[in-house]
Amino acid sequence: MNLILLGAPGAGKGTQAEAICNKLGIPAISTGNIIREAIKNGTKTGLEAKSYMDGGGLVPDEVVIGIIKERLQDDDCKSGFILDGFPRTVAQAEALDGMGVNIDKVIEIFVPDEKIKQRLSGRRVCESCGSSYHTVYKPTKLENECDSCGGKTVLRKDDHPDTVAQRLNVYHEQTAPLKGYYEKQGKLVTVIGQEEVADTTKLTLEAVEA
């Protein structure tokens, strides 16, 4: 099963991608995580992407398309995958179609902007392994320390309020048109993000299996 998770930053795509990954045993591929890793390692892609990411804008299409093209060739994608954060523009969706990749379903997780702003201000991510937490909804067992690897958990630079507003603008202008794109292909299913993560997961898994 080849899936795409669509939704505003902070809608919970990463969390739901992890749940589907555990259930179906297919890899969750986050372009955001791949780019953050590249920045951390100081690679050419990382250097190219950093200023866009820090400012809340999108990294150029050709860069992310290249990343995904390479990643989808890995063996673990042979029996399916979940794309989290890709595509983010119609040009990226067209490039994916052009790669001959068949997408079975696109699951949109809908959360209103006001809720997103609240959520992102409390989000913390592990500097070392990228695991995601929330100060209220999913706190770490020890303060500022990742449950999985013991790394330090921090507020992402692009989760600062001004940058979040910019990311939401970018989402509505450049990514939301993908809903129409996939609706036309008969692939779009919308899940309403719930207060409790477990409730959203239940709805998401039902949408995957429907």
Residues of this chain that interact with ligand AMP (CB under 6 A) are 9, 30-32, 35, 52-53, 57-59, 64, 85-88, 92, 158, 167
Q: Which of 36, 119, 124, 156 is catalytic?
A: 156
- The catalytic residue among 36, 88, 105, 119 is 88
Backbone phi, psi, residue 27, to 5°: -70, 145
How many CB atoms within 10 Å of residue 9? Answer: 25
Nearer residue to ligand AMP within complex by CB, 9 or 193:
9
Residue among 36, 42, 54, 59 at smallest CA distance from 125: 36
Between 128 and 202, CB nearer to ligand AMP: 128
What b/e string do you get for 101-125 counting C-beta neighbours within 10 Å, with b at 16 or more?
Answer: eebebbbbbebeeeebeebbebbbb
Active site residue 119: no
* Active-site annotation holds for 167: yes
Catalytic position from the list 36, 105, 123, 124: 123
Closer Cβ to ligand AMP, 70 or 206, answer by number: 70
Active site residue 124: no
Burial of 38 (0-12, 13-18, 19+ CB in 10 A): buried
The smaller minimum CB distance to ligand AMP, of residues 78 and 157, is found at 157
Measured from each CB, the residue nearest to ligand AMP is 32
Buried b (16+ CB within 10 A) or exposed e, 13-30: bbbbbbbbbeebebbbbb
Contact criterion met (CB below 8 Å) for 189 and 207: yes
- Closest approach of ligand AMP to the CB of residue 57, in Å: 6
- Residues 13, 120: Cα–Cα separation, whole Å: 13
**17: Cα within 13 Å, side-chain hemisphere:** 28
120/12 Cα distance (integer angstroms): 10
Nearest approach in angstroms of CB 120 to ligand AMP is 9
State in angstroms the smallest separation of the CB of 113 from ligand AMP.
15
- Rounded to a whole number of angstroms, the minimum distance from the CB of residue 61 to ligand AMP is 7
The residue among 31 and 200 lying less far from ligand AMP, judged by its C-beta, is: 31
Catalytic annotation on 71? no
Q: How far is the CB of 210 from ligand AMP (least distance, A)?
A: 25
List the beta bridge partners of residue 82: 3, 28
Question: Which entry of 13, 36, 119, 124 is annotated as an active-site residue?
Answer: 13
Catalytic positions, written as ranges = 13, 88, 123, 156, 167
